[in-house]
């Protein structure tokens, strides 16, 4: 059917605590592993020809437990680099910056491992991923492609699929262990399902 199947990884300790988890490479919790296994029936019957994952282990392990077989890592699917806000919750940030919003205010520079990036930079990465998979999707007539990654990068990627600004990913909630699909209707990019969990 030529759909793009988006899979957000299962729960980690930091996602459970609502801490910004960009490049920190955390494993899944027991609940996260359960969420990943629960994806099996949601993915059954799809004609997935290619599975591309973030190289971070929470995404790779989710793909493995969901029975997706061989995967190809792509660093462009890594989560938003939160810079100086890595590991910090929104509530903690808003104690010092009460009106702060990730999508409009961005993140401060961090250390060498977490230098930070803007929403536009995340959008550029998403555009590269979409360009790379577009030939396989065949304008909607090819096989499905699965992307296993993280909440914010997948929300930005969806906004870009729809031709919206990267910051419009703010309009799309995406839970851990959720499956969404992007496709076409009358040749136009659309969301065909969103935030499905078992």
List, by residue number, the catalytic residues: 9, 79
d(C-alpha 108, C-alpha 148), whole Å: 27
Rg (C-alpha) for the chain, rounded Å, is 16
C-beta of residue 79 within 8 angstroms of C-beta of residue 22: yes
Angle, helices 119-137/151-161, rounded to nearest 10 degrees: 60
Q: What are the E-state strand segments in 35-162?
A: 48-53, 72-73, 144-149
Angle, CA of 197, 29 and 112, to the nearest 5°: 105
Query: Comparing C-alpha atoms, which of 143, 140, 171, 181 is closest to residue 8?
Result: 181
């Amino acid at each position: 059917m030529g759909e793009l199947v988006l899979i957000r990884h299962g729960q980690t300790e930091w996602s459970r605590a609502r801490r910004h988890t960009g490049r920190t490479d955390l494993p899944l919790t027991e609940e996260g592993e359960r969420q990943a296994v629960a994806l099996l029936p949601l993915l059954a019957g799809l004609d997935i020809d290619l599975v591309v994952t973030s190289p971070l282990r929470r995404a790779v392990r989710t793909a493995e437990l969901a029975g997706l077989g061989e995967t190809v890592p792509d660093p462009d699917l890594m989560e938003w680099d939160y810079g100086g806000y890595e590991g910090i919750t929104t509530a903690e940030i808003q104690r010092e910056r009460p009106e702060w919003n990730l999508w409009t205010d961005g993140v401060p520079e961090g250390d060498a491992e977490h230098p930070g990036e803007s929403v536009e930079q995340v959008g550029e990465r998403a555009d590269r991923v979409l360009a790379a998979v577009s030939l396989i999707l065949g304008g909607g007539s090819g096989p499905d492609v699965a992307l296993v990654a993280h909440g914010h990068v997948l929300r930005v990627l969806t906004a870009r699929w729809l031709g919206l600004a990267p910051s419009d990913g703010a309009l799309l909630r995406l839970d851990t262990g959720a499956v969404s699909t992007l496709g076409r209707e009358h040749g136009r990019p659309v969301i065909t399902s969103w935030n499905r969990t078992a």
